Amino acid sequence: MTKPAPVSDRRPPRLAGVGLHVLMAGLSLTMVAPFLWMVLASLKTMPESMDPAWLPKTAQWGNYLEVFDVIPFLRFMGNSLVVAGWVTLLQVITSALAAYSFARLEWPGRDRMFFLYLGTMMLPGIVMLIPNYEIMVRAGLMDSFLGLVLPSAFSAFGTFLLRQFMLGIPRALDEAAEIDGASKWRIFWDVILPLSRPGIVTLAIFTFMGNYHSFFWPFVMMKTVDNYTLPVGLLFFDSEHGQVTNLLMAAVTMSVLPLIVIFVFLQRQLIRGIQIGAVKG
């Protein structure tokens, strides 16, 4: 019997591996640099914040306490968390239901309706601003959290993302559940939804981050200071005398802490969801 030829070592040379790591480290530094500058600027005095030098002469940790004297920081952050949390919850629910209908159910005109629904992603957000604003005014929802949440409760992107995940789930699971007497709703809740968890977590993180830092729509809708979200509240650091850069950077540094905590706890699900989506794509 002929002995099979040895499989050649396909690993890249060590030098190439080192070069790749150096390149990735350089790219990582370029992404970390703005965040590092923000943290260092938050520890400067106001005159030092105008200096191009990165390091402060003496760390001004009192800047973080002074932020609470300028704005009701915790209230603004709480408003942002409430709005972003409700938008995330509603988007996940509506997107999951719509994705299940488009991916697993058979009904006339389903594919045409899906492409029509997907076509709304081509519309810039600014185009929908005036119609949404007019609807909120007529509904009496100006200067209210409900007025911030409702226009963002539905997402064509979220529906598309979850539909792609659900299309990858074997149809045999639906058929087996139907044989056992499960209804469409039971199949969705007990079979499809748990298997789509990576996609749901990915959508939830993206939605929460996007709405937590949303500025323009809350700026248009909110008139009462107590209802301001955090991005709108940061405008208090702008005055006729200029921008209080050091305090602004301290406030922004504290504002990103919830996002860091969310990413640390959900990073595995997020990475897994992105990987699965990339393979299915």
* pLDDT per position as a tens digit, 138-150: 999 999 999 999 9
Residue 7 has pLDDT above 60, yes or no: no
Cα–Cα distance, 102 to 164 (Å, whole number): 10
* 90 assigned to some structural domain: yes
pTM over 0.75: yes
Nearest to 218 by CA among 84, 97, 104: 84
Same domain (yes/no): 189, 235: yes
User: Among 46-55, 226-235, 250-259, where is mean pLDDT lowest?
Assistant: 46-55
Tokens of 135: 């609807």
CA geometry: angle at 87 spanning 81 and 93, to 5°?
130
264 and 159 both lie in a single domain: yes
**pLDDT greater than 90 at residue 55:** no
Confidence at 279, pLDDT banded by 50, 70, 90: very low
Is the domain of 131 the same as that of 178? yes
* 171 in any annotated domain: yes
With a cut of 70, say whether residue 8 has pLDDT above it.
no
Report the Cα 121 to chain-centroid distance in Å. 17
Q: Tell me, yes or no, whether 146 and 90 share the same domain.
A: yes
Residue 250 lies in a domain: yes
> Is residue 260 over pLDDT 80?
yes
Contact 59, 43 (CB under 8 A): yes
Together in a domain, 148 and 182: yes
Give the percent of the chain with pLDDT over 70. 89
Residue 75 sits in the same domain as residue 28: no
181-223, pLDDT tens digit by residue?
889 899 999 899 988 888 898 899 889 988 998 999 999 999 9
Q: Are residues 56 and 72 in the same domain?
A: no
Give the 3-state secondary structure of the chain.
CCCCCCCCCCCCCHHHHHHHHHHHHHHHHHHHHHHHHHHHHCCCCHHHHCCCCCCCCCCCCHHHHHHHHHCCHHHHHHHHHHHHHHHHHHHHHHHHHHHHHHHHCCCCCHHHHHHHHHHHHHCCHHHHHHHHHHHHHHCCCCCCHHHHHHHHCCCHHHHHHHHHHHHCCCHHHHHHHHHCCCCHHHHHHHHHHHHCHHHHHHHHHHHHHHHHCCCHHHHHHCCCHHHCCHHHHHHHHEECCEECHHHHHHHHHHHCHHHHHHHHHHHHHHHHHHHHHHHHC
Cβ–Cβ < 8 Å for 188, 125: no
For 264-277, write each residue's pLDDT tens digit. Answer: 877 776 666 655 55
Q: Work out the mean pLDDT of the chain and round it to a whole number.
A: 86
Q: Is 197 a domain residue?
A: yes
Tokens standing for residue 47: 């005159």
Q: Which structural domain, as residue segments, surrounds residue 170?
A: 68-280
CA dist 144 and 263 (Å) reads 29
| Together in a domain, 94 and 168 | yes
Count: domains in the chain: 2
Confidence of residue 4 (pLDDT cuts 50, 70, 90): low
* pLDDT category of residue 58 using cuts at 50, 70 and 90: confident
Which CATH number characterizes residue 214's domain?
1.10.3720.10
pLDDT in tens, 89-131: 999 999 999 999 999 988 898 989 999 888 888 888 788 888 9
174 has pLDDT over 60: yes
Q: What's the pLDDT score for residue 101? A: 93
